[in-house]
Structure 1
Amino acid sequence: MDFGTTKYIIYAELVADGYVEKNDIIGAIFGQTEGLLGGDLDLRDLQKSGRIGRIDVEVTNNSNGKSYAKITLPSSLDRIETAIIAATLETIDRVGPCSAKVEVKDIRDIRLEKRKYITNRAKELLETLMDSMTDIHDISEEIREHIRTREIVEYGEEKLPAGPNIDSSDSIIVVEGRADVLNLLRCGIKNVIAVGGISIPKTIVELSKKKITTIFIDGDRGGELILKESLQRCDIDYIARAPKGKEVEELSKKEVLKYLRLRVPVEQYLQQVNRCNDLSRSVVETSKEEEITSTDFNSKEECPKEDSNNKETLTYEVLKSENYELKLEYIRSSIENIKGTNKIKLISPNFEKVLSMEELSEDLLTDVYFIITDTPITQQLIDRFFNNVNSNLVIIGRETHITKKPPNLKILKYEDVM
């Protein structure tokens, strides 16, 4: 059935007490409704004007002395007029010589099906459009990469990857490899040159003596090694560093500019190294291996790593130090030590103890600064041991489940300090 401009479809069923055919039923529909609703809703006039579509009748069974039929009537009237037409069909009580009964089963808004089709088709078209946009993006990126690659020059006798402005600029930025050069070119920085390995080339050594030199290293062990050798062989003026665990080639434009702005003068860096060396020697008096690990290089209070074969282990005596980062590193190390043990570590400037939850008691909490627990911090635990705390005690736990805490008590989760 071609519904054209149809808005609604009326579905009805007819039962006649005798044998009737399709034409008999259509005749009864027009004949028994004629004049019933006046000229405005006369079925013949509505069909002539196209506001009622072709009435379809399907006789489904003629047996046992009865006839059954399904009636479909399309309507482009509004919903009120359509409902009136549907109700009118139920006034038909005879078909030919036979008594009959009509019951409307449903009025369906065909526009809902059209909207559903439109929605589904629009999704398909949008997916096609998005695929096309992705292709355009790939092409654009390929073009940009080509332009950046063309800007790279081979500089010096070692043919180092570099930007085009090395000679014309009064400053240079030294990075590790070709990918780092490409990334800085993408950010519009063209006075960049790569060492091409861990060993510092002679060309960069000579350039550092003539130009203001910033070394921009990765936040990993390789970056530390390059920095160490460059400080020994080159005339470095500033040091910039990617965040721990990230490489310069991975940074966004915003990050590249940020960490270059946060570069530190080499004199300040060396002062930090010396200060941390002094602190580390005062931490313990033994010759145990030291594990002082630096945090974000760009933090003003950070201690850069020192490459030493005689390292010492941080202990609770660190708490007596004035260095915040050193204390924080000790707390992080303590968290790592008890992870997976379901135990509790008590830390004061004079001792540290690792206990099970059953061994914890109030008398052990005197002079304790930090408590690190590998068990959840619950309200029951707080109520039992820490309601009468008089100091600024800090409890650090794997997770917290509390509703009320004493005012002098600080409660943190692992992720707050890691």
Structure 2
Amino acid sequence: MARPLPYLLYSGLSRKSERQHADRLDRLVQNGALSQSARDQRLAQNLPDRPKGEVLWLHAATGFALRPAMELMCRISDDRPDMFGLITLSPDVQPPVGAALDTGYFAVLPEDDSTIVRRFLDHWSPDSLVWIGGKFRPNLLRETHERHIPTLAIEAPQSPITLDLTSPVPGLRKHVLGGFDHVITASSEAAYPWRRAGLGPEQIEILGYLEEGGIAPSVDDDELTRRMAEIGTRPTWFAARLNRAEISEVIRAHKRALRRAHRLLLVLSLSDPSTQDSVLAQMETAGLAATLLDPDGAISEADQVVILLTDPHHGEEGLWHRIAPISFMGSSLGPFGGIDPYPAAAMGSAILHGRHVSDFTTAYARLTAGNAVRVVTDGFELGEEVGRLMSPDQAALMAGAAWEVASTGAEVTDRVANLVQDFLDLRERIAP
């Protein structure tokens, strides 16, 4: 089948040999601007083996699309545990520090060269593609369409539906958009280019953006019941993933808040669990009755501070965000980047944090815009805010705002997950 004229024009304007692509990327590697693995990914070379079974391919075109893509992958993986997830990224997008997929792989999107694109698709042979954000790659998407791989496009915040081109090609965007099977947009206005591209009403859904934050952490109901019985009516706040350098300010905050509620309990987790003994000693030196709490241990009325022994990445924090009406997001009083606030928001906890949250800028900006968080600069302000939020109506107001922000986009996430499930089920049925 002959390709439309805009594709032919694009091919002519962008034509380079694979050697030219490799030479350009090799220069970037030599200059330290690109890693060897990223160079190989952009050339679709030396890729890890494709696992057997289904491969779901998600592309995060912008930084605003990455976390929604990761959360969507987790959501779908819960229903298809044997599925492998491939998340590709535009060259200017980096995964969050320490991010990993349980059964998946992050990769830089290959160069939009026909030979490289075919090698990429031959290797991964994806069962479906979900493209989040704009910056569409014409050759890659055309080849994907010709292989009858189901494709879904989703609008992401601050990610306009543009083509990833150095020079415009008249008429090309219409043909690229027209190759998608289904699209979810944020507004009627945003749906207009897709209608012009030939998609029918049944292919376009206007639901809003796919946004991060809609997935609540899992909680063990028996553990929840046990801990709530141990705490009883005691007011409680939770400080999550504290850096060792923040402990003195948190002690200051807790002592100040204790003036308003002498039975106040502080539960905390550490960003580095190996510091727990020194943190315990620092608490005791400050005159606070503190204990290290293992999963089988119990909280007593005499405890003023409880330090969790488990690794903060193992999921116990969701339990404490659920129990405590107030959560302080640690690693934020100093230049440590902050932690993800959405687990606390999704569990209905009022959120406090410091000013240093550069690793989660978008998340905190959304919560701030929704009046769902309070910023503190030191232990004095933290203690004042904890004391103020011990008033149930104040904590509930903030927690409700945080939950509303976190749940915005959950409808889109659920709808996309169901669409992808349908795509994969259909492909499975028609597979030879």
Same fold (TM over 0.5): no
TM-score normalized by the length of structure 2: 0.20
Q: Which has the higher strand share?
A: 1
TM-score normalized by the length of structure 1: 0.21
Structure with max Cα Rg? 1
Q: With a CA cutoff of 8 Å and minimum separation of 6, indicate the structure with the bigger relative contact order.
A: 2
Q: Which has the higher helix share?
A: 2
